[in-house]
Amino acid sequence: MPDDASQRRGLDDLDLRGLRTLLAVAEQGSVTAAAASLGVSQSSVSRGVQRLRRVLDDALFVRGPKGMQPTPRLHELLPLARATLDQWTEAARPTTFDPATDRLTLTLAAWDYATLLMLPTWLAALGEDCAGLQLRVIGIRERFPARALESGEADVMVGLFRRLPPGCFEVSLWSDRFLGVCREGHPAAASLTTLEGFAAQPQLLVSPFGKRTGFVDDLLRAQGRQRSIGCLLPGFAGACEAVACSDLVAVLPERLVARAAGLQTFLPPLQLPTFTMQLVWHERTRDDPGQRWAREHLKSLPSGSCGPTSPGSSGWSVSASPAGSSDRNPG
């Protein structure tokens, strides 16, 4: 009998090809017929049987009146060999996704800005074709949100990301721009288009990570000005309402403002940026049929479905990106 180390080394030679050879010889009762059924040479089958005899320490086949007959040891192994081969054959089949019958759980991590604009559209577009859809939306709660994709906490992300780690892919969705907003009838509305008038008003800042300054403060600082923050919010939810019912002013995305009531917009004397929202996924789910179906649906939604059109991207662009974070306050 071979020792344990020899058996372990021998098991390295026990592969799917060997199992297929065993089953073919057992079913055909002949090395020649087995070789023909497998589409290989007779010598290849013979070598395979000899190798398996060494691995399993058994003759495996003996000659009988009806050709090569399995030994008692092989009789015990044949059901296991068939089951193993069947399981691997099934596993190797290309997977498909049928939205009409299959179930899909999609975990989407997103800025609340994207959720506020697009959640009804996402649910309608995905749910209309996939009755078995469960859409799970989670917030982006860290400076390096791509970790959620790497760990499997999220399947896709929607947001604005300056840098992404290797293994992530992104496509542009829609563009927007920032505008100044105040309530209708604001007593200082006429002065908000001047640097002095804008900086003098108490302002609302959306700060997902708790920072007390944003890009507007950077722009003001470059011109020797500073603003005071009268309200700090962790997200865009409630931002328009807070401005509409107070004398606060804010810099908010145009598409979001267009959905609110009681506001008027203005252009501060600053170079306010446009931005493009991205759909991001990880190579971990790149080839999953259900995930691929969901991404194609999200990518195909017209930009007009999330509000008024703003200057920005003119089409889709897919790329793998180099390393990163999303740590700048939106206003």
Lookup: tokens for 209: 């990570």
Provide the strand spans (E) within 113-161.
132-139, 156-159
Average pLDDT, integer, range 281-298: 92
Q: Strand, helix or coil at 320?
A: strand
Query: Quick check: 314 pLDDT over 80?
Result: no
State the Cα–Cα distance between residues 151 and 135, nearest whole angstrom. 18
Residue with the two structure tokens 């804008």:
198
* pLDDT at site 304: 53
* pLDDT at site 307: 54
Q: Which amino acid, one-letter code, is at 167?
A: G
Query: Quick check: 94 pLDDT over 80?
Result: no
* pLDDT at site 310: 37
Kindly report the CATH number that applies to the domain delimited by 4-92.
Answer: 1.10.10.10
The yes/no answer on whether domain 99-331 falls in CATH 3.40.190.290 is yes
State the Cα–Cα distance between residues 165 and 119, nearest whole angstrom. 26
Encode pLDDT of 135-150 as tens digits.
Answer: 999 988 776 778 889 8
Strands 132-139 and 263-266: unpaired
Q: Is the pTM of this model over 0.75?
A: no
For a pLDDT cut of 90, what percent of the chain falls above it?
47
Average pLDDT, integer, range 115-123: 91
Cβ count within 10 A of residue 94? 6
Average pLDDT, integer, range 237-251: 96
Query: Quick check: 99 pLDDT over 80?
Result: yes
Lookup: tokens for 191: 């002065």
Domain assignments of the chain as residue spans, ordered by start: 4-92, 99-331
Would you put residue 312 in left (φ > 0), alpha (ψ -120 to 50) or beta?
Answer: left
State the Cα–Cα distance between residues 107 and 169, nearest whole angstrom. 16
Contact indicator for 165, 325 with CB cutoff of 8 Å: no
Average pLDDT, integer, range 35-64: 88
Query: Quick check: 12 pLDDT over 70?
Result: no
* pLDDT at site 91: 66
User: According to DSSP H, which parts of 132-177 are helical?
Assistant: 146-151
Encode pLDDT of 202-230 as tens digits.
Answer: 999 999 888 899 999 999 999 999 999 99
* pLDDT at site 305: 55
More confident residue, 145 or 51: 51
State the Cα–Cα distance between residues 248 and 126, nearest whole angstrom. 38
